[in-house]
């Protein structure tokens, strides 16, 4: 006979929910491409194409001669990373599975877990692609140093949170 087990404590319930969010986030990362590496490479290529387009546009328009202390390309990459993080989080939360989804027919799954997993999977892909792009830029082109790395990462998290908020409203 099938017997369902109920969590005995609040800690056990929290661990069960965290495990469910983790597995749903992994499923969400692999859902569109079938492979997490392919999703990461697609996101990296999106970032690189946007950086190259903006660099070309700033060079043609003559805006590259602006007085910006530090590396101009790093300045552009910071804005592009913030923008892409916001847009991807917003679209992930908007496209999260709703109550009518077939996945919601499974007992422990609910809409909150689907939204949390979609948001976390978008943050995972964005942060991983950010580190890969910055590592390649640091090793291949110019050694970089970020003056306040915690505040810079705070910009990414703020864009992620606003993307979640807008995605929930839309």
Q: What is the DSSP string of 32-89?
A: TTSSHHHHHHHHHHHHHHHHHHHHHHHHHHTGGGS--SS-HHHHHHHHHHHHHHHHHH
Q: How high is the pLDDT of residue 76?
A: 93
Residues 119, 117: Cα–Cα separation, whole Å: 5
Give residue 137's pLDDT band: very low, low, confident or very high (50, 70, 90): very high
Q: Which helix or strand (DSSP H or E) is residue 167 part of?
A: helix 149-169
Q: What are the tens digits of pLDDT across the range 56-111?
A: 998 898 877 777 888 889 999 999 999 999 999 999 999 998 888 888 888 788 99
Task: Return d(Cα 117, Cα 25) in angstroms, integer.
Answer: 4
How many CB atoms are located within 10 Å of the residue 24 CB?
23
Does 28 have pLDDT greater than 70? yes
Residue 10 has φ and ψ, to the nearest 5°, of -65, -40
The answer to whether 163 touches 88, Cβ cutoff 8 Å, is yes
CA separation for the pair 144, 134 (Å, rounded): 8
pLDDT at 150: 97
Indicate the SS3 state at residue 99: coil
Answer yes or no: pTM beyond 0.75.
yes
Which is more confidently placed, 52 or 104?
52
């Amino acid at each position: 006979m099938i017997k369902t087990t109920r969590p005995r404590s609040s800690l056990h319930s929290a661990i069960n929910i965290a495990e469910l969010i983790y597995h749903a986030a992994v499923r969400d990362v692999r859902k569109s491409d079938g492979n997490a590496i392919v999703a990461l490479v697609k996101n990296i290529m999106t970032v690189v194409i946007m950086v190259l387009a903006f660099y070309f546009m700033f060079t043609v328009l003559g805006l590259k001669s602006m007085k910006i202390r530090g590396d101009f390309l790093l300045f552009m990459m910071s804005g592009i990373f913030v923008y892409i993080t916001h847009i991807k989080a917003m679209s992930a939360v908007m496209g999260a599975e709703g109550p009518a989804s077939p996945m919601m027919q499974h007992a422990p799954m609910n809409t909150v877990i689907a939204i949390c997993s979609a948001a976390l999977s978008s943050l995972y892909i964005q942060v991983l692609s950010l580190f890969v792009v910055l590592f390649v830029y640091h090793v291949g082109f110019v050694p970089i140093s970020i003056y306040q790395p915690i505040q810079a990462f705070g910009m990414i998290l703020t864009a992620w949170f606003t993307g979640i908020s807008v995605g929930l409203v839309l």
